[in-house]
Amino acid sequence: MGKEVVDAMRQAEREAGLRPSLESEVARLTKLVHILWKEVERLEGIIRVTPDGLQIKSGRSEILVLKNGGIILNGLRISLETPGKNDLFY
């Protein structure tokens, strides 16, 4: 009898257009989780936690933020912009 009540409620909701069925909600959430997981995999290739700190790598450039407060920049061209002064290092 409980199954009949649940089926009747789902049918009434579909007819009234109040909310999508549970199956469609699960399918939608599954799709969102899949999209988020792909983004996590992409970010894992760019950002990495190392014993020294945090490494961010993109192409031929790399930033290492050290636990001791230091920052190491590695790249072909580094532009440093501060209020009132801009420097370009080759």
Looking at the fold, whether 32 and 68 belong to one and the same domain comes out as: no
Looking at the fold, whether 55 and 86 belong to one and the same domain comes out as: yes
Looking at the fold, whether 60 and 89 belong to one and the same domain comes out as: yes
State both tokens at 11.
């049918």
For residues 60-89, give the mean pLDDT.
Answer: 89
User: What percent of the chain lies above the pLDDT cut of 70?
Assistant: 81
At 22 the pLDDT is 77
For residues 36-53, give the mean pLDDT.
Answer: 90
List the beta strands (DSSP E) in the chain: 47-49, 53-58, 61-66, 71-74, 78-82, 85-89
At 24 the pLDDT is 80
Looking at the fold, whether 28 and 62 belong to one and the same domain comes out as: no
At 5 the pLDDT is 65
Number of domains the chain is built from? 2
- Of residues 15 and 1, which shows the higher confidence score? 15
For residues 20-45, give the mean pLDDT.
Answer: 86
**Is residue 81 within 8 Å of 89, Cβ to Cβ?**
no
Looking at the fold, whether 53 and 29 belong to one and the same domain comes out as: no
The mean predicted confidence, pLDDT, of the chain is 83
Whole-number Å distance between alpha carbons of 48 and 15: 50
- Calculate the CA dihedral of residues 81, 83, 85, 89 and round it to 10 degrees: -10
Domain hosting residue 62, numbered range: 47-90
Looking at the fold, whether 21 and 56 belong to one and the same domain comes out as: no
